[in-house]
Structure 1
């Protein structure tokens, strides 16, 4: 029991750990744009350690095209693309994706939490415009003032600062922030801002800058005034070729192309921060508990080659800057070698100790494994359920004693055989198909079959199957645990018949009502023939009519008995049968009894020109109908007739997509809410002499035997029983 509990805990933990999480990453720009690529690579790297995260990435490409019609069509595309997918988290990068989410969140991703990164000019008011509140993220904030301060310190004799920008969404946002800073520094040096030149004019302006007292702040340049589009490298490298002065910037993706550096907004830092937030959410943390990081994680970063070219010492002004392309010193090289050597020696020592301990542990484990194998054999044989396991070819590899007893063979005789050696061909073929499906899908299966043992004993068996893997990860085969439900089925069948017998009193009363009119008619015929005989008016014609009329009544009475006898027979096989035929036969049995109880019974077929069929057990289904209608009739007689009030039983029959629905409604008053949820329980009854089996067996027949549903509810003073049954084999 201890091992079983431990296995169960580990199994359910494994199931929970393997739950796949789907994340959608929406980029404002295109693949190949370094800012976007760095964010993507960082997120992918941080997600790669968790195999349960599936990341889907899409690119809006709004650097190249951002017309409203394009954005609208993009929303329609995503609607079609992701209509049948459910995401656990959405990550958006940059402002255009944020604006897109503001417009189309409810249309595309309703109720999914959203994380943002790379948002310029972040303001809390931006969130107030959103229709959703499950959002957090990290803002992208370029620190222009600190870069101005850095430039002025590194170049105390600076006279001219040229600012290069474009008219993109990000460019406009930076221009707005620049205005205040330019005003502050305009008296210290001359500042020239340009975003309206073509590339050739811009190169001319840059080449004419004085090399001793000028600098450039390169913001962005993806498209010049002629409409020519550049990659991030193309525009910067064109300027770098003709520049004799240091170039500073605001983003880290220009750093390796010849930029001196600055306090840079880092795509890697944005990706690091937002991916950590994402992992917390995917591991169960509520997004509302993750505050928005309004302070952008900017870093002082510099290019060693450019610092050396212009003889700049940033260590005077910046503490612990990040320097790229810096050559390693001899000390650093030897330090690394020394550290690596120590680590290798330590690792080798640890490996030796571990190997020695491992040998001892393996010897101990081999002994424990042998004991465990013996224990598992005893455990399998102790379990009363028949159990077997077989390989991918369908050949039995082993079983417990219960299975060997079931197929009347020894264990050794079972090994190497297949299902075709022990079970009838149809059953073996069906199970072979189930096994093949399991091996393809690595899922589990539950199926049921009936067969006769070698001693001609009928068995009802439930098969619970699952695929197992070998230690190397390859598919080993299938394990099956059988559950013999023969006794349970026989008990339920007995209860069904017992519940039928419980209805016997009502049935006899129904037959008495059915026979009442034909007996009166026969009595009148006999008296009439006797009178004719005494008056000597009896003719051959009168005798013939008497016989014919009498036979009509006798046949009617005989049919009543036949209907009653058919009702008592249990159905042995599932089949398709007509709902209307079943109701007609029930009406033949109890219709007149209902009528003489001053109750009107209405049948409403919503699909009037269609014959509605049910797949199941016909007589048991009629038993359910008889029980519910009889209960309704008795309740109406009890509650309505003393008030001299006519009762109603309404039966609605309707075809739905996968089910046929039957509603049986009576107006005898609502069921007490305290007991309405208990009326389908076994032996629960509100009648003084009731057995409490009728509705319990109705639930067993409808839900277990016929794979349907039955429930009851109150509607004011009406009680509505609803039955849903499949109209095809399930």
Structure 2
């Protein structure tokens, strides 16, 4: 809340500095020299002194001394002449008389000028409703809290016999009398209350001087005595104080310093502060109708140190939040903050010295522990079989474990200062550098694969697990990499792939038999024909040449079939970009005729043209296609051909944003929904003589080795295998 007020104040200062002059009229009900009035003026002037463009005009009505309709009429005529050539942006009405005067004469003197009041006792809404003035008026209500003051007196003086209330018959005094009549009966059972407002000053002084020690005074107002003699606020109190030997309590803060102990007092300064803030809002453009009346009077518990001491009252026993005035000079009290800071500083220094000594001892111990821990970590890292290295943000190696140094055939000290380009082939080093740059920006982790060729002709495969590490100060220190040697796993997967290929060899041999059947028949016929020609002595040179040419065509065809078979069995060693159509054509060459003679129609649909490519392992990819087509063929033969129905295998090839897609659809009947989610698991099979590795290896090849995706689903009575494979390097 304080921050908001400060920001509002600064904003107001800035806005006012940019705007033209503002005219403010402060109309006081009472006279200059009356402390209540002077304190309100001081508070308003203090709040306005920051604004050089606010011109404050202060007028005093002096209604403590004279207050009647004729006097108000004369004031109206005076102000009409005085302000006929002046226009005010806002008017402040201090106390009831000023507000009542403005309600009566505002339209004639200051038409449509907003009015903000302060110090208004016993506020009545009917007052500002008069003459349609409600839309021009807001302000701060002054409200004396008689009940809490009675309760305070009762707490401080539990043995009190009598409370004497001193008041006058002024307008305010009469209003106070009405309020006192409502409060007094509530305390009759605690002490006697005597109300005095019709004595001469001399009689009053004599009466007060004869009170007993179990009496207290509540000084309300006394500007006129019974004879009509006028007294200033401090004259009347000083007269009473000079003859009183009992404590005197008050209701307004301007009686402090003149003999009252204090109480829950109505504060002129608080009234002035509150109304001046409202004025600034109006001058800043806020409508008067948007400023609500402050109905809770900003009263405070305020006490005079001298009076408390005189009557030996420890006010902190009765009130929690209060203000003490007139405290005697105390170096500690005056410079309390400085003294406390000095003492606190000295204590801090002592504590710091103790802590520093303890810290030195602790650091020595920590250094020993850290040295032991570093030695332990060093041994621990060297014991780990995985190769580990770590480098800074510039990409330079700052250390490694023994396994990495041995892998690179270097000493650990020789690793320091080098970069990835010193250890890995250029393309691998570039790829790893890009990964490192990305990690340093995202602060995430990364896993990638790498194959390294060593001088002994061996190839090793690694998974690189990388993460960013931070220094103790929170800044990024660099990257740690743990190299997991997966050579054995890769070889094992390759073995399974080859095993899967061998599992297909039965179908492959049958396919080759189909492929060779026709050319063998053709060769047999040609041999018989040339033998017959030879026996009949009809053999000619041209026939021999023709026989040789025709035979070579058939032999080359059979040789091509063997080459396709041999290429299929040969494992791919690295990823390449190859056409999808080429792979499918080669598969079709191997098993196409067998599929055809099985009464199955196999159709290829190139939806986006025939030039789509795949980035991956070519022979392994062909193995996946062969496995899926063979499975479809087998299922069709088992289910559909029993009914002498022709089967269909549809292969759709299409392109998407990041992948090329191949769909292999067969109508050999759907897969049981209970097992469809398990068909890619290793060694899962529904065939009597199946190995359960065909579809598992298909998933390994597509997803692990080629970073693609393979899925299966049933559509009606058909099965759709969908393969998505990347068409460019990742």
- TM-score where L is the length of structure 1: 0.56
- Give the drift of 1:620: 0.8
What's the secondary structure of 1:523's corresponding residue? Answer: helix
For 1:50-65, what aligned pairs fall within 5 Å after superposition?
Answer: none
Distance 1:408 1:429 in 2: 22
Distance 2:526 2:131 in 1: 126
1:678–1:684 contact (8 Å) kept in structure 2: yes
Residue 710 (structure 1) aligned with residue 710 (structure 2)? yes
Query: Hey, what does 1:597 align to over in structure 2?
Result: 598
Query: Hey, what does 1:569 align to over in structure 2?
Result: 570
Change (3 A) 1:420 1:547: closer
Query: Hey, what does 2:630 align to over in structure 1?
Result: 630
Query: Hey, what does 1:369 align to over in structure 2?
Result: 370
Query: Hey, what does 1:676 align to over in structure 2?
Result: 676
Deviations along 1:562-619, one digit per CA (max 9) or x if unpaired, are 11111111112211111111111111111111111111111111113x5111111111
**Partner residue of 2:281 out of 220, 237, 254:** 254
Change (3 A) 1:631 1:300: farther
- Give the drift of 1:683: 1.2
- Give the drift of 1:540: 3.9
Query: Hey, what does 2:693 align to over in structure 1?
Result: 693
Show structure 2 runs of 5+ residues with no match. Answer: 12-91, 107-123, 139-170, 172-271, 301-318
Change (3 A) 1:605 1:421: closer
What's the secondary structure of 1:624's corresponding residue? Answer: helix
1:262–1:300 contact (8 Å) kept in structure 2: no
Distance 1:367 1:382 in 2: 23
- Give the drift of 1:699: 0.9
- Give the drift of 1:302: 7.3
Distance 2:344 2:282 in 1: 34
Change (3 A) 1:651 1:37: farther
Distance 2:708 2:284 in 1: 70
Change (3 A) 1:38 1:188: closer
Deviations along 1:663-694, one digit per CA (max 9) or x if unpaired, are 11111111112211111111111111111111
Change (3 A) 1:525 1:457: closer
Distance 2:723 2:295 in 1: 68
For 1:51-450, what aligned pairs fall within 5 Å after superposition?
Answer: 159=100, 185=125, 189-190=129-130, 192=132, 254=281, 336=337, 340=341, 343-344=344-345, 347-428=348-429, 431-432=432-433, 434-435=435-436, 438=439, 444-450=445-451
Distance 2:503 2:522 in 1: 31
Distance 1:488 1:158 in 2: 97
2:387–2:402 contact (8 Å) kept in structure 1: yes
Change (3 A) 1:334 1:483: same
Show structure 1 runs of 5+ residues with no match. Answer: 1-33, 42-150, 165-183, 196-201, 207-212, 214-244, 266-297, 305-318
Query: Hey, what does 1:517 align to over in structure 2?
Result: 518
Change (3 A) 1:431 1:726: closer
1:249–1:262 contact (8 Å) kept in structure 2: no
Deviations along 1:204-236, one digit per CA (max 9) or x if unpaired, are x99xxxxxx9xxxxxxxxxxxxxxxxxxxxxxx
- Give the drift of 1:462: 3.0
Deviations along 1:263-292, one digit per CA (max 9) or x if unpaired, are 989xxxxxxxxxxxxxxxxxxxxxxxxxxx
Larger Rg over CA atoms: 2
1:387–1:402 contact (8 Å) kept in structure 2: yes
Q: Give the CA RMSD over aligned residues.
A: 4.7
Deviations along 1:117-158, one digit per CA (max 9) or x if unpaired, are xxxxxxxxxxxxxxxxxxxxxxxxxxxxxxxxxx99985995
Query: Hey, what does 2:485 align to over in structure 1?
Result: 484
- Give the drift of 1:437: 5.6
Distance 1:600 1:615 in 2: 29
Deviates more, 1:413-422 or 1:504-513: 413-422
- TM-score where L is the length of structure 2: 0.56
Query: Hey, what does 2:613 align to over in structure 1?
Result: 613
What's the secondary structure of 2:608's corresponding residue? Answer: coil
Query: Hey, what does 2:653 align to over in structure 1?
Result: 653
Distance 1:435 1:520 in 2: 64
Give aligned pairs, total.
473
Change (3 A) 1:691 1:299: farther
